[in-house]
Amino acid sequence: MADRFSGVHWMLATPFHEDESIDSASIGNLVDKAVSSGCEGMVCLGVTGEAARLTDRERYHVVEAVIQRAQGLPVTVGTTAGSTAAAIDRSKEAQKLGAAAIMVSPPPMGKPSPDAVFKHYSMLADAIDIPIVVQDYPSTSGVHMSPDFIARLSNGIPTVEYLKLEDPPTPPKISAIRKLVGDDMPIFGGLGGMFLLEELARGSVGAMTGFAYPEVLVDICRQMAEGDRTKAEELFTHCLQLMVFEFQEGIGVGIRKYALQSRGFIKNSKVRHPGPNPNNETKGEFHRLVEAAGLGSL
């Protein structure tokens, strides 16, 4: 692609009806929100999108629905799988449907080998013609990638163009990677936006995360790009407690979907079984934090 990704690429949830079937109308609402919020792109079928709980037919439907509604914004599709063959198949399908890039985490390995991980991405790159976003999220993949190894991927596989960094502490790792690759591999933060300000200060180009208030993320990135760190820090600090609350391990997707439902973007906050859904106490805590952050009118 001629233009490199930057800014906020919103991670889309996958909305379900009460019977756990996919809610296509609500998918459209989420895509429209990404566009109207000023996002530079969007990502579907990530962890936020409950990709591991979808059938292959459902995955196809979600990707098709998002790309058809995206109004020209680039759509990155998560194609992580348990094997290289499956990841290749999913990635080819995403490319055929019009994805601008794919996002891939290393497959689970009993004893991760750097050479095996490198070969995974190399084989994937040989099979497709669109950029690869490497997702560095060891808490879900079980694979730890050092800055040196990430530089090896960037230098050795031309279509490995981007990194979504979710291996905390992220700011020092950004600095370490940039010392090795410079600007050759744009880095995006994730983790609910909890470290966004420091990541931008260290040289990240934006965020790929699903925080339910994408316009906040867009404003922070814009203010930092304009050199107004004081204003960015004020907004970030104001919303940080809500970001942390929404990204709670185990129940974060449920809280995020409840937030999206509360904002009127999805009809049902159902997380597909066996994923947990927030109880009434958690919902009450969410609303208190929204008001404290001054976001109740959004």
CATH number at residue 135: 3.20.20.70
Q: What is the pLDDT of residues 3-53, one digit of tens each?
A: 899 999 999 999 999 999 999 999 999 999 999 999 999 999 999 999 999
DSSP one-letter code for 263: T
Note whether residue 55 is domain-resident.
Answer: yes
Q: Confirm if 8 and 40 have CB atoms less than 8 A apart.
A: yes
Is 280 a domain residue?
A: no
User: Does any domain span residue 287?
Assistant: no
Closest CA to 41 of 69, 77, 5: 5
Amino acid at position 110, single letter: G
Matching residue, tokens 């599709």: 77
Q: pLDDT at position 108, please?
A: 85
* Residue 26 confidence (pLDDT): 98
Q: What is the pTM of this model?
A: 0.96
Region 244-262 average pLDDT: 96
Read off φ and ψ for residue 269, nearest 5 degrees: -95, 15
Residue 262 has pLDDT above 50, yes or no: yes
Q: Is the Cβ–Cβ distance between 297 and 291 less than 8 Å?
A: no
Q: Is the pLDDT of residue 297 over 90?
A: no
CA 254 – CA 277 distance, rounded (Å): 5
> Vertex 253, ends 30 and 134: CA angle to 5°?
80
Predicted confidence at residue 1, as pLDDT, reads 40
**Does residue 232 sit within a domain?**
no
**Residue 276 maps to a domain:** no
Radius of gyration of the CA atoms of the chain, in A: 18
Q: Is the model's pLDDT at 209 over the cut of 90?
A: yes
Residue 243 lies in a domain: no
Within-domain flag for 272 = no
Whether the pLDDT of residue 2 is over 90: the answer is no
Beta strand residue intervals within 117-266, DSSP E: 132-136, 160-165, 187-189, 206-207
Does residue 196 sit in helix, strand or coil?
helix
Q: Provide the residue range defining the domain that includes 195.
A: 7-227
pLDDT-above-90 percentage for the chain:
95
Indicate if the pLDDT at residue 55 is higher than 60: yes
Query: pLDDT tens digits, residue range 101-132?
Result: 999 999 988 888 999 999 999 999 999 999 99
User: Is pLDDT above 90 for 298?
Assistant: no
Using CB atoms within 10 Å of the CB of residue 16, give its burial: 0 to 12 exposed, 13 to 18 middle, 19+ buried: buried
Q: Which tens digit of pLDDT belongs to each residue from 161-190?
A: 999 999 999 999 999 999 999 999 999 999
Total domains present in the chain: 1
In a domain, 235, yes or no: no
**pLDDT value of position 112:** 81
Res. 282: pLDDT tops 80: yes
